[in-house]
Amino acid sequence: MQITAQMVKELRGATSAGILDCRKALVATDGDFDRAVDHLREKGLAQAAKRMSREAHDGLVVSYIHAGGRIGALVEVNCETDFVARTTEYRSLVDEIAMQVAAMAPRYIKRDDVPPAVVEHEREVYRARTLEEGKPERIVDHIVDGRMEKFYSEVCLLEQEYIRDSGKTIAELIKETIATMGENIVVRRFVRFALGEGEE
């Protein structure tokens, strides 16, 4: 059975699980909506979304220094309890996020963090480029929207492809860990340093 975008959207609306997880659940259950919901519940992914609204004030600050000491990252990732913060699984997740920041140089955590002036500037640049390419006026906005999605996937940590698995985003990686750990997990802040960066 062909799995359509609408089927994925409906399952996501019902469970709040990630898009990729919803698609996999529908494939695994041959498109059966109810069985797909059960499939996600068994994996704990449907509940993960509910946990994401809970307060997270504990956690870890972790650093990652790339080989050679030319690039480094410092991240704060919060969870709900000190117990979870001390687990190997949690520490591993935070280490992976720090490595992601060092490797992929995100500028923001999520798209809501991108200043409106930056969004407007990017849209103007993409619009001018699209018109210069000779695209028909009626489809320019659609093309610009697509290019903005790519922009967000490059500059927003949670929307970046995970460097160890391009089939999932950092947001999906975190949601999987929430499902496993049973607690909300939030990337609070990060900073990245590159040797010589910012020098005139």
Question: How long is the chain?
Answer: 200
183, 80 contact by CB (below 8 A): yes
Do 119 and 106 fall within a single domain?
no
More confident residue, 74 or 180: 74
Q: Which residues pair with 74 in a beta bridge?
A: 63, 191
Do 105 and 167 fall within a single domain?
yes
Range of the domain at 146: 115-154
Helix (H, G, I), strand (E, B) or coil at 110: coil
Say whether pLDDT at 73 is over 50.
yes
Cβ count within 10 A of residue 69: 8
* Rounded Cα gap, residues 146 and 184, in angstroms: 31
Do 133 and 47 fall within a single domain?
no
What is the predicted pLDDT for the residue at 200? Answer: 45
Do 40 and 139 fall within a single domain?
no
Q: Within 13 Å, how many C-alpha atoms sit on residue 94's CB side?
A: 26
pLDDT level of residue 44 (50, 70, 90 thresholds)? low
pTM of the full structure: 0.70
Amino acid identity, position 33: F
Task: Calculate the CA 200 to chain-centre distance.
Answer: 33
Do 83 and 171 fall within a single domain?
yes
Instruction: Find all residues with CB under 8 Å of 161, minimum gap 6, and list them.
Output: 153, 168, 169
pLDDT level of residue 58 (50, 70, 90 thresholds)? confident
Do 136 and 168 fall within a single domain?
no
What is the predicted pLDDT for the residue at 13? Answer: 74
